[in-house]
Amino acid sequence: MKTLWGFIRKEFLQTLRDPRMRMLLFLAPGVQLTIFGVALSTEAKNIKLGVVGAPNDFSLHELHRKALASGWFVPAKSSSEDPFAQINKGEADAVLIAPPAGLDRSLGRNEGQVQLLVNAINVTRAQSIERYFLSVVQSLYGQALPFHFDVRVLYNPAMQTALFLVPGVMSLLVCLITILLTSMSITKEKEMGTFETLISAPVKPEEVIFGKTVPFVLLGMSNIPLIVGVAVTLFGMPLRGSLGILLLSSFVFVCCTVGIGLFISTVAKNQQQSMMGGFLYLFPSVLLSGLVFPIENMPWVLRIFAYINPLTYFIELLRNIMLKGGDARLILFNVLILSAMAVFIITASWRRFKVVLG
């Protein structure tokens, strides 16, 4: 027992002596639990609602105002009168469409059909939108509606949860592989004692950086066709957009995640720290990416972290390319942001690596 107690005491002292390990063990769980307890909610909020109809159609705009007053919906800022284009560009989550003759005239004749177009890329959110809006209509007109109310679901008419979750899981797998493998590359060299040989070798820091990143970029890209193939064949995931654009977007994202992994490896002293650092980054990154919980539900402070998260933009790209067919403006916007993030993190890793080289 004396020997066993000595080993236990040694392990405790060795682990708790390192301030980074103390932070990972005690500070990080409390901070994460506090943040995510506030941020995560499956309730749909801030639903962007558009309206298409005549400006003088009082009944239509009264229904729109009633929806906005419910607190679930916010007005959509649309640049087009085409309701499908509003949803395809991401300007609206749902669009209210009046009957051809107008809702005022249809109510007088007890006929006509009011249509609600719903973006169903996020299945949970789409179901909430339909439920919320129906309750708004019934609160205004009662259970016996004086018109036909039709909900048309776009991009995922069968409301299959897999079509919503698979792009997020694909993004997570790429992120997991690249960050964890890259973050352990330099720390492995440190533990094996070959890092000193690498420093003393007649090579430039830039050459070492490229030598440490290019293999993992290629390994990450080699997983993309496999992951897409499994998603399409096994889960029936559609690929409505260009495969070339998907591969280009994936390349930019992989460069970004490899840069993050490299930065972690320059900070960590051993493989244990690099692995814990990778998971410490991945856990909040996944929860604040819109993979399961909508970003619109989060407080504005946490949305800032969601919008500087590379995973957020790659999930948006995959869902847009595979389910919508790819809106050019949205793709360009997300790819440019990912490119800027990749340049920033690789530059930061390069500077940090030069400090490590001393």
Residue 73's DSSP bridge partners are 47
CA pseudo-torsion sign 335, 306, 171, 344:
positive
Which pLDDT does position 142 carry in this prediction?
76
Which pLDDT does position 3 carry in this prediction?
63
Which pLDDT does position 253 carry in this prediction?
92
Long-range contacts for 284-287 (Cβ within 8 Å, ≥24 apart)?
284/32, 284/35, 284/36, 285/175, 285/309, 285/310, 285/311, 286/172, 286/175, 286/311, 287/36, 287/39, 287/40
Low-confidence residues in the chain, pLDDT < 70: 1-4, 6-8, 10-12, 14-16, 18, 20-43, 108-112, 143, 193-206, 356-358
Which pLDDT does position 286 carry in this prediction?
82
User: Phi, psi at residue 118, to the nearest 5°?
Assistant: -125, 135
Domains of the chain: 47-154 (3.40.1710.10), 161-357 (no CATH)
Alpha carbon of residue 302 to chain centroid: 13
Looking at residue 23, what DSSP letter applies?
A: I
Which pLDDT does position 335 carry in this prediction?
93
Sheet holding 113-119, edge to edge: 73-75, 47-52, 94-97, 113-119, 148-154
Contact between 97 and 117 (Cβ < 8 Å): yes
Name the residue type at position 130.
E
